[in-house]
């Protein structure tokens, strides 16, 4: 399996892109992009947004009385 990583190694090194060849000294395992530190925040923002959309989808129930069991029956598993 490790032999497959050298398929393009010579071409990459010839093009000056040796840092992208795995199992070599210059290979970078960590991207140098500080925006990746914000990714968990974006994921949390998206999860809250999806929850908000589910709440808006239940707007039909706002003028009637719905029990917790009825809401869980729609949005979650009920045993």
pLDDT in tens, 8-52: 888 877 888 777 777 777 676 666 677 778 889 999 999 999 988
**Widest Cα–Cα separation across the chain:** 70
- The pLDDT of residue 4 is 54
Cα distance between residue 40 and residue 5, in whole Å? 31
Cα distance between residue 51 and residue 55, in whole Å? 6
Q: Is the pLDDT of residue 1 over 50?
A: no
**pTM, two decimal places:** 0.42
């Amino acid at each position: 399996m490790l032999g497959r990583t050298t398929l393009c190694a010579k071409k990459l090194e010839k093009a000056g892109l040796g840092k992208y060849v795995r199992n070599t000294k210059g290979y970078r395992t960590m991207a140098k992009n500080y925006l990746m530190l914000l990714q968990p925040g974006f994921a949390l923002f998206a999860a809250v947004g999806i929850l908000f959309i589910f709440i808006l989808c239940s707007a039909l129930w706002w003028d009637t009385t719905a029990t917790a069991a009825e809401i869980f029956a729609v949005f979650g598993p009920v045993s």
